[in-house]
Structure 1
Amino acid sequence: MENQQEPPEGRFRTRRVVLASVAGCAVLGGALVLLPSGRPAGPAPPSPGAVAMAAVTAGEPAALPDLAELIDEREKRLRARPRDARSWAVLGAAYVEQGRRLADPAYYPRAEKALRTSLKVRPERNTRALAGLAALATARRDFPAARRWGEAALTLEPRRWTTYPLLIDAYTGLGEHAAAKRTLDRLTALRSGPAVLARAAAVYRDRGWREDAAASLADAAAGARTPPERAAYLERAGQLAWERGDLQDALRHFQEAVRLDPDQWAAQAGQGRALAALGRTTEALNAYRVALTKQPCPRYALELGELYESLGMPEAARAQYGLLRERVRAAAAGGADEELVLGQFESDHGDPREAVRLLRAEWHRQPGTEVADALGWALHRAGEPQKALRFAARATEAERGGGVRSAVYMYHRGMIERELDRYGAARRHLAEALRINPYFSPLHAPAARTALEALGEPPDDELPEMDGE
């Protein structure tokens, strides 16, 4: 078993503000204000735009209304001062976050224009714009570009801690798990606090260290400074609980996230996932519909379509699959890559050969673990189980796949092995899928149970099979 790294402890810095006062007066906006009580007034609360700017520049989640305020404020400022490179970079970063939160790729071309304008105005040592372009590339699922921009930003300012999470995302998307872990180590040496703990949790999860990941997220949520930030960490904690099959814990985290931030649509979709597994079908369908109305993410459409299929509602499922295709096209128009989810859809509900074509191209461009699993499954569905097993093994082996414990990946590998008459390995991996999360899919979890029952108990004289490609 791998040595588990203790999650970094959060050390939160408190900034002390010294307020100068004149007997019975306070200085506000450059004016002296006389108070009836003779006591100095406290500092004025920050504007929503200032709150969002602090969050965006620190790589933290911001409330959607605050983001809209920040975007409006920066746009007005730039009309008056078009050569303000910093404001262009801030505007670009805000567009990226708004597009990500709304699943609206129309924001991404605006973000790119703003960030490239910032670089044009200030071509030298513009770390903020380079980091913004790395964040934009990550939002578009262009991990090679994210790595390129992130490394350029880090070369300019190696101690700028907010660049490190962007590089961790890029390395993870490229399947470079050792590089992601090294980058996390450098990050935790520079900085502590909720945002760092949340980033560490993602790396721990990808390495299969789920207990460390859960502890880090709990600490991150406890130390979050704003409701949207805490809601984002609770949503991730809910997803982690879902992945280990703890439905009640997952639902509790998702519900609290939505309570804290009604615009936390990922948590709304998470509620749909958990409620469906709990048999609360009507509530699950409503939760998914609400999430898709506000954040029309292709993956949510795929999940809802498969839930409809499991309920014997093919027409409703087809409507969701149509929405998925529409959102993939919209993403492409905004320069975003949703080929992975489209390939996953084609494998099970469309044309497996088309899925292989899409996912092979994705693999050659950015060979991450999720792409390896999807390509292996597409090859299996297209009737090429020998080739499929190579990729399924890569996704599930700690050495190359990073070590993530995924019920979906184990299910795919087990079904491919069954097709190849590797019954011992198939039993082992199908059973492992159901141990990790017995509810991992309304369509495929029942299929896993059926396949495992059909395989039956291993014969007494069965020799263990060697795993391999």
Structure 2
Amino acid sequence: MENERGWPARRGRRVLTASVAGAVVLGGVLVLPPWGGGDAPPPAPGPAALARGAVTTGVPAALPDLAVLIGDRERHLRAHPLDGVSWAVLGAAYVEQGRRTADVANWPKAEKALRTSLRVGAERNPQALEGLAALAVARRDFPAAKKWGESAVKAAPKRWTAHAVLIDAYTGLGDHEGVGRALDRVMKLRPRTPAVGARAAAVYRDRGWREDAAARISDAAAAAEAPAERAAYLEQAGRLAFERGDREEALRFFQEAQRTDPDQRAAQAGQGRALAALGRTTDALSAYQAALAKRPSPEYALELGELYESLGLEQAARVQYDLLRARVRSAGAAGADEELVLGRFEADHGDPAAAVRRLRDEWGRQPGTAVADALGWALHRSGEDEEALEFATIATDGEQGGGVRSALYVFHRGVIERELGRYGPARRHLGEALTINPYFSPLGAPEAKRALAELGEPSVEDPPG
């Protein structure tokens, strides 16, 4: 039975989840316990079963449930070290915990568990292969994510979650045709699943299909049952709202996401972003600080540092930039790639030449749209504007894959064009950036306004766009 949105009816899904979850927690053996009581409903699944159901079906899991699941599988594996399925579940749980907390110590543990699953499990082990692909995505190692994801698809072509992780891998590699193929496959296999709707929303966002993305994520949030899942989709909706410059709606989404799941730190950082755009800087600083205390992400440290810098608080900004560097070093030691955020930081606040070197290497390895934008900006900051424009065009030209309507990317292109004396295109792109989102950055948005004002009105001498 389906509801009015076409999603499977919730009650039926709850009973199915409870039945499967209740069966698998008994030492990894499929056992269907007698419920008794005639028409009495089955008992509600426990935290470990809930987390296991989430991590094995591509759904965000609650942190407390993940902790219980990890403890449960660790105890089980001490007694049953040859249980390949449990090793795969443990590895997937480590990946999800690390993703939720930005604790890179999870990555080596996840890799060990997943590789052990491959070693002791069946020769064709799609769950472990998919887990290794998800781990590579979390580490921002998209070539490895592609390799493991394609192996998982080969092992189990109808396993939709394997195709889903390939969406992330191909996105990071700038393979837009691959993204489309993977999304088409996922949509055919599980068209009415909220998690698939969220995946589709992310792809539509990257293509610049804002209304379609917003509709998809709204439906996914409405259909999600578990609080952690619903909160994740609300946070995604908040990001979409902020990217189109709707500060108030973004804040509402972020606040609702954190009310739904207090551990949703991405939503807490999003509140900082929206509050800063609304001029509520004290509240914004508090939100960022609280998010960083529980999820010390380099990205959040960069955002908070730039907010401090916009307020003239240089010392406080340097503290955040030092945190960013420390977190990037820790990530590298754990096998993660944070060169993109480090390159962005160095371009604006450190050594632009070093940023160019880092981002050239990153582009050679995984040429995604975000890397194109960052490399173009670093080249501009290093005085290499002709080459910078080539990459800025890749990041913003839908014909080259840069279909996302990013105010930051368009701002970068406009500044580079102004430096090259291409005043007509510069005026158009700076104005477009401020139309897309007048609040896109506490440092960049004011600079865009100043640059546009300095350009003044169009002149008959302006070169054509």
Letter in 2 for 1:375: L
Pair 1:125–1:312, CA change in 2 (3 A): same
Runs of 4+ in 1 over 3 A off after TM superposition: 8-13, 15-19, 28-33, 39-42, 460-463
Is the CA contact 2:52–2:69 (under 8 Å) kept in the aligned structure 1? yes
Letter in 2 for 1:355: A
Letter in 2 for 1:249: E
Instruction: Give the C-alpha shift of residue 122 in structure 1.
Output: 2.0
Is the CA contact 2:410–2:432 (under 8 Å) kept in the aligned structure 1? yes
What are the residue-to-residue correspondences of 1:190-269 with 2, within 5 Å? Answer: 190-191=189-190, 192-269=192-269
Deviations 1:360-414 (A, max 9, x none): 0100000000000000000000010011001000000001134100000000000
C-alpha distance in structure 2 between counterparts of 1:361 and 1:205, whole Å: 27
Instruction: Give the C-alpha shift of residue 45 in structure 1.
Output: 1.5
Match of 2:174 in 1: 175
Letter in 1 for 2:7: G
Report the secondary structure of 1:162's partner residue.
Answer: helix
1:387 aligns with 2:387: yes
Instruction: Give the C-alpha shift of residue 286 in structure 1.
Output: 0.1
Pair 1:171–1:30, CA change in 2 (3 A): closer
Number of aligned residues = 446
C-alpha distance in structure 1 between counterparts of 2:267 and 2:463, whole Å: 45
* TM-score scaled by length of structure 2: 0.93
What are the residue-to-residue correspondences of 1:61-460 with 2, within 5 Å? Answer: 61-191=60-190, 192-460=192-460
Letter in 2 for 1:276: A
Instruction: Give the C-alpha shift of residue 173 in structure 1.
Output: 0.5
Pair 1:181–1:45, CA change in 2 (3 A): same
Letter in 1 for 2:86: S
User: Please, which moves more after superposition, 122-131 or 414-423?
Assistant: 122-131
Pair 1:85–1:170, CA change in 2 (3 A): same
C-alpha distance in structure 2 between counterparts of 1:389 and 1:261, whole Å: 42
* TM-score scaled by length of structure 1: 0.92
Higher RCO, 1 vs 2 (CA within 8 Å, ≥6 residues apart)? 1
Is the CA contact 1:392–1:413 (under 8 Å) kept in the aligned structure 2? yes
Deviations 1:418-439 (A, max 9, x none): 0100000100110000000000
Match of 1:23 in 2: none
Structure 2 unaligned blocks of 5 or more: 20-30
Report the secondary structure of 2:160's partner residue.
Answer: coil
C-alpha distance in structure 2 between counterparts of 1:444 and 1:183, whole Å: 35
Aligned-pair identity in percent equals 67
Report the secondary structure of 2:43's partner residue.
Answer: coil
Letter in 2 for 1:314: E
Letter in 1 for 2:169: A
Is the CA contact 2:84–2:122 (under 8 Å) kept in the aligned structure 1? no
User: Please, which moves more after superposition, 10-19 or 116-125?
Assistant: 10-19
Instruction: Give the C-alpha shift of residue 182 in structure 1.
Output: 1.5
Instruction: Give the C-alpha shift of residue 11 in structure 1.
Output: 4.2
User: Please, which moves more after superposition, 224-233 or 395-404?
Assistant: 395-404
Structure 1 unaligned blocks of 5 or more: 1-7, 20-27
Is the CA contact 2:394–2:402 (under 8 Å) kept in the aligned structure 1? no
Deviations 1:306-346 (A, max 9, x none): 00000010000000000000000110111111110000000
C-alpha distance in structure 2 between counterparts of 1:364 and 1:130, whole Å: 25
Deviations 1:79-137 (A, max 9, x none): 01000000000000000000110001100000000000000102511111000000000
Deviations 1:226-272 (A, max 9, x none): 11100000000000000000000000000000000000000000000
Instruction: Give the C-alpha shift of residue 32 in structure 1.
Output: 9.2
Is the CA contact 2:235–2:267 (under 8 Å) kept in the aligned structure 1? yes
Match of 2:7 in 1: 10
Is the CA contact 1:147–1:171 (under 8 Å) kept in the aligned structure 2? yes
Instruction: Give the C-alpha shift of residue 463 in structure 1.
Output: 4.9
Pair 1:340–1:463, CA change in 2 (3 A): closer
Letter in 2 for 1:70: L
Letter in 2 for 1:267: A
Pair 1:29–1:311, CA change in 2 (3 A): same
Report the secondary structure of 2:236's partner residue.
Answer: helix
Is the CA contact 1:12–1:193 (under 8 Å) kept in the aligned structure 2? no
Deviations 1:21-77 (A, max 9, x none): xxxxxxx996898x8xxx765322211000000000001011000000000000000
Is the CA contact 2:380–2:416 (under 8 Å) kept in the aligned structure 1? yes
User: Please, which moves more after superposition, 400-409 or 321-330?
Assistant: 400-409
| Greater Cα radius of gyration, structure 1 or 2 | 1
C-alpha distance in structure 2 between counterparts of 1:178 and 1:402, whole Å: 13
Letter in 2 for 1:96: V
C-alpha distance in structure 1 between counterparts of 2:415 and 2:82, whole Å: 58
